[in-house]
Amino acid sequence: MSNTNSIQAEYKTEIPEPWTKRTMDKLRKTFSGNTLLLLGLMVAVIVFGTANRVLFKLMLIPMVNYPFFTNQLTSFIYIPFFWPIVWVFFKTGRIDEEQRSFPWWKFAIMGTLDASAGLLMTFGGAHTSGPMQLLLSQAAIPMTMLFSWIVSLEALAFIFKRVLQVNYKWNHYVGAGTILLGIVVSLYGQLFGGGDSGSSSSVAGLIIFFSSSIPTAFSGVYKEIGFKGADLDVYYVNAWVATYQFVVGMLFLPITTLHSFGGLAFDEIPANLWDGAKCFAGYGEGCEGAYYYVCGYLAINIIYNIVLLMMIKYGSAALFYVASAVILPAADICFTQKWIMGVNAQPLTWYDVVGLIIILTGLVVYRFLGKESPKEGEGKDGEHHDKHESDDDDEIEEVPILSFQVGEVRHIRRRKPSRREHVPRSVSTVRNTYMSRLGFKEMPSSVGASLQREDYYA
């Protein structure tokens, strides 16, 4: 009998599963609910991310003479978007007193840095071609590495109140250097290569737009410092940052008197703001359709950030990095299409193509190579952390910080805030709290003795 069972078992193992069953199992696994969701989110990030970058340039074409008004408008619009959500979270208790006690001056610093980045990006973007905007915005990666190293210096510990340890791997240095090389190649083509591709870019515009990567990078590093150990709702954070970004942005109004930023006289500034409002409404030479481009950019930007939040929640930051690598060539192709850009469509030169390939290579090296186990004091992807913090995957979470410009969204890695263990209150604690609310500083002796007897016999 035992021999018969062994023969049957051997016979069963030798018979392969039908190819139809294997194929169906693979299809079920491939097209499972979670996989389809992640696939849909990745496609959405690519589509809305590409539209976000293209519409940013399309928005600046009719508003080219009113960059300050455009910058402030695109900053203000997020205030009425975020604060109603925050108000609901106040009422439901999702945002508690501990979150509201977060220092306001940290939000002010973040808003100041983002206001500086947005101003430089808008003023520079008005005189920088779409393909160059895509490539120059990648300078935020090596700039972030630079500021991460600066913040890690012991000499600056008294400023940032903590010392961060930076342990970037070889792929981060090689990737950042490759990205810078691609930017240099593209800039050379714009400035000295000739052709039509540089016609919509000015030297001042390229410099100003490239400079926006400095406050962008520093803002990301400071946010990672400021949010260490804080359990803050992402909508609450972005509501305050958007508010301070708009308020501080108004203080930059005198910058429009500089030659590279408009060269307006002080008495011309009010008229320029009014003309910007009229151009936004479609009144003025070359302002046809400005309303649709600006509102389209704002709507796509909000949707884009919401999709990013969903991708981080249901997927990972790695999926966003893959999608970002696809967005660059997709947006470049869109900038060459007349049905999208109209008369502003520009053919790509060899410098643009080579620069794009080099930058994409740098992004791949930076994001996806050198994935050995992180060293002590170092997080995944080479991010910097406190020296004494461990980077257990169960204790680390990815927190997205929304971006209101065309630049890459910043994700900070932090330790999950420790939750206090709930300890049930004793009967005496509940009783004393109740009596104090009735106005008794001390429980009457007769009542206390009676309650003690009840507790004893109970």
Tens-digit pLDDT string for the chain (458 aa): 555 555 554 544 455 566 566 655 655 555 455 778 888 888 999 999 999 999 999 999 999 999 999 999 999 988 998 999 999 999 999 998 889 999 999 999 999 999 999 999 999 999 999 999 999 999 989 998 998 888 877 766 656 555 566 678 889 999 999 999 999 999 998 888 754 444 568 999 999 999 999 999 898 888 878 877 777 888 898 899 999 999 999 999 999 999 989 899 999 999 999 999 999 999 988 898 899 999 999 999 889 888 887 877 777 667 777 888 899 999 999 999 999 999 889 888 899 899 999 999 999 998 877 654 333 343 444 444 444 343 444 555 555 555 555 445 555 555 555 544 444 555 566 556 655 655 555 555 555 555 455 444 44
Q: Is residue 416 located within the same domain as residue 457?
A: no
DSSP H helices, 77-212, are 79-92, 97-100, 104-125, 130-136, 140-151, 157-160, 170-192, 203-211
Q: State how many domains the chain has.
A: 2
pLDDT for res 278: 96
Task: Identify whether residues 313 and 457 lie together within a single domain.
Answer: no
Assess whether 418 and 437 both reside in one domain.
no
The domain of 458 spans 429-458
Can you give the pLDDT at residue 384?
A: 43
Are 411 and 454 in a shared domain? no
Amino acid 376: pLDDT? 35
H helix runs in 212-336, sequence order: 213-226, 234-251, 269-280, 290-314, 317-335
Query: Considering the entire predicted model, what is its pTM?
Result: 0.77
Measured distance CA(215)–CA(115) in Å, rounded: 9
How far apart are alpha carbons 306 and 42 in whole angstroms? 13
Closest CA to 151 of 224, 102, 237: 224
Residue 29 lies in a domain: no
Structure tokens at 222: 């400071």
295 and 266, same domain (yes or no): yes
Asked if the structure places residue 15 within a domain, the reply is no
Nearest to 111 by CA among 270, 249, 207, 9: 249
Phi-psi region of 375 (alpha: psi -120 to 50; beta: other; left: phi over 0): beta
The answer to the question of residue 453 being in a domain is yes
Q: Are residues 52 and 119 in the same domain?
A: yes
**Which residue, among 237, 393, 221, has the nearest Cα to 309 in the 3D structure?**
237
Please, which residues have CB within 8 angstroms of residue 186's CB and are 6 or more apart in sequence? 131, 132, 135, 136, 351, 352, 355, 356, 359
Whether residue 186 is found in the same domain as residue 237: yes
Q: Do 334 and 423 form a contact (C-beta atoms < 8 A)?
A: no
* Adjacent-strand bridge partners of 415: 396
Supply 79's token pair.
């205030």
Please state the length of the chain. 458
Q: Are 215 and 309 within one domain?
A: yes
Burial class (CB in 10 A: 0-12, 13-18, 19+), 145: buried
Strand partners, 165: 385
Contact criterion met (CB below 8 Å) for 301 and 106: no
Count of C-beta atoms within a 10 Å radius of residue 157: 13
**Residue from 108, 111, 117 nearest 214 by CA:** 117
Residues 396, 434, single domain; the answer is no
Q: Report yes or no on 19 lying in a domain.
A: no
Q: In whole angstroms, what is the distance from residue 154 CA to residue 132 CA?
A: 37
How high is the pLDDT of residue 373? 35
Q: How far apart are CA 140 and CA 147, in angstroms?
A: 10
- Whether residue 247 sits in one domain with residue 227: yes
Whether 7 maps to a domain, the answer reads: no
For residue 275, tell me if it sits in a domain.
Answer: yes
User: Residue 81 falls within a domain, yes or no?
Assistant: yes
Locate 347 and state its tokens.
């053919």
394: DSSP letter? T
Give the contacts of 142 (CB within 8 A, at least 6 positions apart).
176, 177, 179, 180
8 inside domain: no
- Are 289 and 282 in contact by the 8 Å Cβ rule? The answer is yes
Are residues 354 and 446 located together in one domain of the fold? no
Question: Is there a single domain that holds both residue 146 and residue 182?
Answer: yes
